[in-house]
Structure formats: structure tokens, C-alpha cells
Amino acid sequence: MELSDYLTRDRVIILKSDTKPAVIDELIDVLTSCLEGVTRGQLAESINKREDLMSTGIGLGIAVPHVRLEGLSHAFVAVGISREGIPDYESIDGEPAHIIVLIVAPQGRHELYIKLLATVVGLLKKSSLRSRITEAETSFEIYTALINGNA
């Protein structure tokens, strides 16, 4: 699985906001253009519903909000970086989240969904990649780091 099939340059951003809801809104904005058949509101609602069950802040400064949506035909990934961190993300380890990766997949593509999650988590496990990302100056640098993460 190649992350580049789902993550494009313009879907990597440096976050402006510092609260969880605002951050998620920013990431949704990134994806709005490619959401055929699904409204912004629907996407936001299902992300929040999922976060209500259990926060996707998995520790080490990483968060992976993820949803499956009826009506989508492709999977998309959006990445937001916050150097200061998002303190209210409710991560498992209580630390602020710095790297937020939003994964959106079609309802029926369960395997792809899990693979994307596994790929993202697998990449971010590497502390070298994490520091390269958090120290990057531009979104392009972050994008390149992520895409070549396995190299």
C-alpha cells in the first residue's frame, strides 16, 4: 500500500487552531473538495461520533481520527501538524497531540480502511520520522517525509 495514493501535497497543512474541534474542522476543509456525495456536516458528525466513543489520540503526540462513510467512492488522508500541540485531544498518554492524521474511507472498503490505519500508525511509530515532521518548516517537507517514510 502506497500512502501517496491517498495523501496528496495539498492535503498536508500546518494547523492554525489549537483545540480539537477546530483542528478537525480545518482538516475537513482540506478534504471538502473531494467529498463527492457526502456533506461537510456528515463528515464532521461521524468524526465526532467516533471521537465520543474513544479518543483517537494514541499517544506519542499522534492522533488518527478515522471514519468510514456511506456514499464515498475513494479513501482520503489529510495531515495537520501543530508544533505547539493540541492539549485537549484527550490522548491516551495525556500529552498534547502534534501530528493529526485524518483517514476517511468508503463504508464498504473495510480492508483498505484498516490497511490505511495500520500504514499510518506503522510510519509514525518511528521517532526519527516524527521528529523530521515536527521540525519541518513547510508542508511540502512534511509531505515528502511522510511519503518517503519507509525509505
Q: Is 50 in the site for other proteins (CB under 8 A)?
A: yes
**Which secondary-structure segment (H or E) carries 47?**
helix 40-53
Q: Which is nearer to other proteins, 55 or 139 (CB)?
A: 55
- Residue 3 CB, nearest distance to other proteins (Å)? 14
Reduce the DSSP state of residue 106 to 3 states and report it.
Answer: strand
Q: How far apart are the first and last CA of the chain?
A: 14
- Determine the interface stretch with other proteins among 8-16, 26-34, 53-61, 82-90 (rule: CB under 8 A): 53-61
Q: Is 122 in the site for other proteins (CB under 8 A)?
A: yes
Beta bridge partners of 105: 68
- Residue 128 CB, nearest distance to other proteins (Å)? 17
Q: Is 93 in the site for other proteins (CB under 8 A)?
A: no
Q: Do 86 and 96 contact (CB within 8 A), yes or no?
A: yes
Residues in contact with other proteins, shown as a per-residue x/- string from 29 to 48 under the rule CB under 8 A: --------------------
Q: Do 87 and 69 contact (CB within 8 A), yes or no?
A: no
The identity of residue 12, as a single letter, is V
d(CA 30, CA 42): 15
d(CA 40, CA 148): 30
Size of the site for other proteins (CB under 8 A): 19
Q: Is 114 in the site for other proteins (CB under 8 A)?
A: yes
Residues lying near other proteins in the complex (CB under 8 A): 50, 53-54, 56, 58, 64, 66, 92, 107, 110-111, 113-115, 117-118, 121-122, 125
